[in-house]
Copies of this chain bind each other. A is one copy, B any other.
């Protein structure tokens, strides 16, 4: 199989870092994004811009329609995005999101005869999300080899999670070393249509703390 990889690209700070890292490691990159009814659609515009910037081989945006299932502040208009960090698993958790993202990546990987998939999950800052933990990733990798024709024929899938044990500050430092410009990325759960961030949601706070701790100027475009 060729040394190509699929990169899950949300358009946020983590996924651009993962894409830059995969490129540096010599992978030909295919980018995969999802329109899952998230409120912060500005993310997808950022993903398209980043995919172009990094000259990926192909970029697909899959429409997931998770809005019809609901159950998360990110996809359900009846649940408010909170303006402070929560205890436990936050209401911004989207049921089975990473399972779905990885399942699509797996299907596309099999069609393209690729066995490497990169995902920017992070178990430190987002420890509230169960599907960002190493044990989840390991379970998915095990599943991938059983689920597929390629796996049944002896190929082995690898789910790469280079950021899983890094703090937000460490991710930003790594990205800056790799030459990443974080200006076009969008992390905010409530970004406006210009991709400007709200400053108050969980994602904004974690990002601001990350830049502050890394001692790197924050290029985020904030709402006035």
How many copies altogether?
Answer: 2
Residue of B nearest to A61 (CB): B68
Q: A135 at the A/B interface (Cβ < 8 Å)?
A: yes
Question: In the complex, which of the residues A63, A107, A135 has the most CB atoms of chain B within 10 Å of its own CB atom?
Answer: A107
Contact assessment for B60 and A110 in the assembled complex, using a CB-CB cutoff below 8 Å:
no
Q: A123 at the A/B interface (Cβ < 8 Å)?
A: no
Closest Cβ of chain B to A175, distance in Å, is: 27
Q: A176 at the A/B interface (Cβ < 8 Å)?
A: no
Q: A1 at the A/B interface (Cβ < 8 Å)?
A: no
Q: A139 at the A/B interface (Cβ < 8 Å)?
A: yes
Contact assessment for B65 and A63 in the assembled complex, using a CB-CB cutoff below 8 Å:
yes
Which of the four size classes fits the interface of chain A? 35 or more
Q: A151 at the A/B interface (Cβ < 8 Å)?
A: yes
Contact partner, A106, options B89, B99, B139, Cβ 8 Å: B99
Stretch at the interface among A15-23, A40-48, A140-148, A203-211: A140-148
A148 to B93, CA, bound (A): 9
Closest Cβ of chain B to A142, distance in Å, is: 6
Closest Cβ of chain B to A25, distance in Å, is: 24
Closest Cβ of chain B to A26, distance in Å, is: 25
Q: Which of A130-159 contact B (CB under 8 A)?
A: 130-131, 133, 135-136, 139-140, 142-144, 146-149, 151-153
Contact assessment for A106 and B96 in the assembled complex, using a CB-CB cutoff below 8 Å:
yes
Q: A28 at the A/B interface (Cβ < 8 Å)?
A: no
Contact assessment for B149 and A93 in the assembled complex, using a CB-CB cutoff below 8 Å:
yes
Q: Convert A8-39 into 0s and 1s, putting 1 for each residue whose CB lies closer than 8 angstroms to a CB of B.
A: 00000000000000000000000000000000
Can you list 15 A-B contacts with CB-CB less than 8 angstroms, sorted by A residue number?
Answer: A60-B68, A62-B68, A69-B104, A69-B107, A69-B108, A71-B110, A71-B111, A95-B108, A95-B110, A96-B103, A96-B107, A96-B147, A130-B147, A136-B146, A139-B143
Q: Which 4 A-B pairs have the closest CB atoms?
A: A71-B111, A96-B107, A95-B110, A95-B107
